[in-house]
Structure 1
Amino acid sequence: MTNFILIFVFLFLGIVFQNIKGFPVTIYKLLNKIVIYICLPALALYYIPKIKWSNELLFPIGVAWIGFFVSYLFFSAIGNRFGWSKKLTGCLIITAGLGNTSFLGFPMIEALYGEEGLKTAILVDQPGSFVVLSTVGVLVATLYSSGNPNGFQITKKILLFPPFITFLIACVMNVIQVDFHEYAQFLFQKMGNGVTPLALLSVGLQLRFEPKSQHWKFLGLGLLYKLILTPALIYLLYVVILQQHSKVIQVAIMESAMAPMITACILAATHGLKPRLCSMMIGFGIPISFITLLFWYFVVQFI
């Protein structure tokens, strides 16, 4: 419950601060960099060395990869059909293609499924959402932002992306079954916890309610894909086609229905991919997702 309260508190604070005369609203750019270059790497170093592997884990891990890949096909096709700009298409691919499987997902899943469910949620988030963000997410953000980077520039950007570097380090530690000293783990956990207040404050500083904004129809389409179509796709694939019926699958579907990923929206915004729309995807997506999650929780009870 505390996490849910924090969502609205920091979102509201950001909105308040942006209306205070003389407040340096552009500080959100600094907050975004702290989230991406400090908080995300800390989360990888804390969680990934602890993951225990089994083939069944491919299902929760696959959630983010499937959702992002289909998002790419979906929005690329629509963007080409209606002549969208590259920045708009890239924005929707990233913000609708990745879910908030950690900050929203972890407390929600733990409340509904307990500690066992949380273990599955971590797999959806770390080898799933986190790796997608750090690799193909960076790739799409680079390709769809201004400029025409070549293959070397793109590869360099991914390999030098701090969250990706720490992910590789954490993976090696997982393979050789080594973890950090408990003091270091405590530090990483606390640094990772900074994602929530900093990211939501940043969103609040950029969020504006503009009735005549051109972004409303794109916001609706992005949230339709993220909150309805993505979990429907995972349900169809895992339950109907592959005939998987377990708590792991229930958790995977619920995680696929989470609101847009905060750090994915920040990644897109820092690359100039419609920053205002990125903020709207989070600011409106999070409260709306509480309603759609109730629907999906009812649906998965019949698995």
Structure 2
Amino acid sequence: MINLLELYVKLVGLVLIGFFLGRKLPATVPTRLGQWLFWVGVPISIVAFLRQADLSGQIWIAPAIAYLAIFLGAFLAWLGIKGQAYFTNTITPESTQGSLILAAMVGNTGYLGFPVTLAMVGQKYFAWALFYDLLGSLFGAYALGVLIAYRFGGGVRNYWEISKTILINPALWSFGFGLLLRQVMIPDAVEFGLEKVGWSIVALSLVLIGMRLSRLNSWDRLPQATMSLAIKMLVVPLAIGITLPLFGVTGDPAQVIVLQMAMPPAFATLVIAETFNLDRDLAVTALAVGAILLLLTLPIWLWLF
């Protein structure tokens, strides 16, 4: 409980700082900070925390579970859309259908999932969250997510740009570099400094989330967003979480996986929605409400698992 309260103070405090700064600073600041974190900050933090992570056990099952959660979320959202059409005799616009499915399948397992996992479970099992995000959520968003956006939307359909986004992702490259660097002995002072830099970058990531939330002003799609959030943050984590022992995943690794599954929709869903002309207002609403809802659902998952 003490750890949870400390986490809430840090999460809410840093996000509120970002929210306040986002309202006061020029619109270019969150963009530049996001670019710096993407290209420099997050890769450094991955290298830093990967040095302390335990890579033993069935860690490679983490991305497999990520894909299971992604496909289950997409399938349940599709069922919800069909059920709504059947019972209300109305047809949801395809652009809205695409955003509904995206919000139900891809979570913010990086910028938000990493700090939550590190705070509640520790660095030892950070690799489970890392494998879930980099080998699961990333490809789920920019591969399967783009295919769904292509089906339900329009707009830019540059496959080379999509492929390049995945291939040159610095987080993936730093992941490989971090694995190699684990074999290298470095002085304790450098190790200590690297860890502190890693935590500072985590804090900046939370500030960035607050900055981005400060610019989300649409709440018109709240009823529709509720369906996607219920699937993404409640149904999928519970359904897959109770089956994790069947995969041999128990204890702290199981808690890491559940926390990653229970994250609110990723900012990538908004990027994809804007690129392919999906329902941007729905994507925005799902992001904002999901971030708030996490404060209510997080204690539930920590208690259940």
TM over 0.5: yes
Counterpart mapping for 1:116-195 below 5 A: 119-120=124-125, 122-140=126-144, 142-143=146-147, 144=149, 146-150=155-159, 152-174=160-182, 177-178=183-184, 181-182=190-191, 183-195=193-205
Letter in 1 for 2:204: G
Letter in 1 for 2:168: L
1:287 alignment counterpart: 292
Letter in 2 for 1:69: F
Q: Is this contact kept in 2: 1:269–1:275, CA < 8 A?
A: yes
Check if 1:105 corresponds to 2:117.
yes
Give 1:220 deviation, angstroms.
0.4
Alignment deviations for residues 116-136 of structure 1 (CA, whole Å, 9 cap, x no partner): xx533x133211123334333
Q: Is this contact kept in 1: 2:104–2:228, CA < 8 A?
A: yes
Are residues 54 and 6 of structure 1, via their aligned partners in 2, closer, same or farther at CA, if it must alter by over 3 Å? closer
Q: Is this contact kept in 2: 1:105–1:255, CA < 8 A?
A: yes
Give 1:188 deviation, angstroms.
4.3
1:199 alignment counterpart: 209
Alignment deviations for residues 250-275 of structure 1 (CA, whole Å, 9 cap, x no partner): 514641453316xx31x333442655
Are residues 208 and 15 of structure 1, via their aligned partners in 2, closer, same or farther at CA, if it must alter by over 3 Å? farther
1:93 alignment counterpart: 102
Check if 1:216 corresponds to 2:222.
yes
Letter in 2 for 1:105: T
**How far apart, in 2, do the equivalents of 1:275 and 1:105 lie?**
29
Check if 1:268 corresponds to 2:269.
yes
Alignment deviations for residues 7-47 of structure 1 (CA, whole Å, 9 cap, x no partner): 33344455556766xx6346443343334333322222222
Are residues 16 and 274 of structure 1, via their aligned partners in 2, closer, same or farther at CA, if it must alter by over 3 Å? farther
Are residues 190 and 15 of structure 1, via their aligned partners in 2, closer, same or farther at CA, if it must alter by over 3 Å? closer
TM-score (norm 2): 0.72
Match of 1:231 among 226, 232, 237: 237
Q: Is this contact kept in 2: 1:260–1:286, CA < 8 A?
A: yes
Give 1:192 deviation, angstroms.
4.0
Letter in 2 for 1:46: A
**How far apart, in 2, do the equivalents of 1:172 and 1:55 lie?**
19
Q: Is this contact kept in 1: 2:49–2:195, CA < 8 A?
A: no
Counterpart mapping for 1:7-86 below 5 A: 7-13=11-17, 24-25=26-27, 27-60=29-62, 62-75=64-77, 84-86=93-95
Pairwise CA RMSD: 3.6
Give 1:165 deviation, angstroms.
2.5
Give 1:200 deviation, angstroms.
1.9
TM-score (norm 1): 0.72
**How far apart, in 2, do the equivalents of 1:71 and 1:208 lie?**
26
Give 1:231 deviation, angstroms.
1.5
Quick check: 76-85 or 193-202, which moved more?
A: 76-85
Give 1:202 deviation, angstroms.
1.8
Letter in 2 for 1:52: D
Are residues 287 and 19 of structure 1, via their aligned partners in 2, closer, same or farther at CA, if it must alter by over 3 Å? closer
Gaps of 5+ in 1: none
Are residues 90 and 276 of structure 1, via their aligned partners in 2, closer, same or farther at CA, if it must alter by over 3 Å? closer
Quick check: 190-199 or 137-146, which moved more?
A: 137-146
Give 1:195 deviation, angstroms.
0.8
SS of the residue corresponding to residue 193 of structure 1 reads: helix
SS of the residue corresponding to residue 114 of structure 2 reads: coil
Q: Is this contact kept in 1: 2:58–2:249, CA < 8 A?
A: no
Q: Is this contact kept in 2: 1:49–1:179, CA < 8 A?
A: no
Alignment deviations for residues 86-128 of structure 1 (CA, whole Å, 9 cap, x no partner): 5762574256422442222332x24xxxx5xx533x1332111
Alignment deviations for residues 273-298 of structure 1 (CA, whole Å, 9 cap, x no partner): 65554443343223323333333444
